[in-house]
Amino acid sequence: MPIETPECNNGMPAKSFELRDVYGRLWSLDDFKQKSGLVVAFICNHCPYVKAVIEDFVTDANQLLEEDIGIVAVMSNDFRSYPDDSPENMSEFADEHGFRFPYLLDESQEVARAYDAVCTPDFFGFDGALRLQYRGRLDNLRMERGGERSPDLLNAMREIKKAGKYSGVQLPSAGCSIKWKS
């Protein structure tokens, strides 16, 4: 049974972070302050829900990057208990899928807790002032890829960039629970 994300806490400010990406570069929230919006995606390497949507997520992320919306992916799982999510495997996963955005390791899990992330994938969409306007699914297909796709996150972020907020229905993302340390 997949875990679903809670409702969007509209207006919540993005939480500060300083995390290293899979290549060792340190990133912070300040690196995205000049953007027209920001997507913070909690993902991992081993989750079947992430594996099902990763190609479409990267495609949508690349489109949003072209539209001056920042993208950052965060991996918060306990990789010592789930070695498929190790930093080395994160690097391979990012390279394999052609990430053009940072893939950050939240080893302390403090960032996931600050954002109240609950599963992978878990998508947060912020406006240009870094206030939460969208928390929901990537698209209507989830694990059942194929068929007509409605890119919910992409459409929401475009509306947020244009209007400053999202007016549509926010349907929860579903996935595997974040693997918390004992």
In this structure, are residues 130 and 42 in contact, taking their beta carbons and an 8 Å threshold?
no
Q: Can the peptide bond before residue 151 be classed as cis, meaning omega within 30 degrees of 0?
A: no
Domain boundaries, the chain: 3-173
CB within 8 Å of 163: residues ≥ 6 apart: none
Closest residue by Cα to residue 37 from 120, 159, 122: 159
Q: How do the pLDDT tens digits run along the chain, 182 residues long?
A: 578 888 889 999 999 999 999 999 999 999 998 899 999 999 999 999 999 999 999 999 999 999 999 999 999 999 999 999 999 999 999 999 999 999 999 999 999 999 999 999 999 999 999 999 999 999 998 778 788 999 999 999 999 999 999 998 899 999 999 999 98
- Note the pLDDT of residue 79: 97
State the greatest distance between any 2 C-alpha atoms of the chain, in Å, as a whole number: 43
Q: What is the CATH number of domain 3-173?
A: 3.40.30.10
Two structure tokens written together for 64: 């949003």
Q: Cα 116 from chain centroid?
A: 13
H-helix or E-strand spanning residue 119: strand 119-120
CA distance to 139, 157, 159, per residue, from 181 (Å): 30, 32, 37
pTM: 0.96
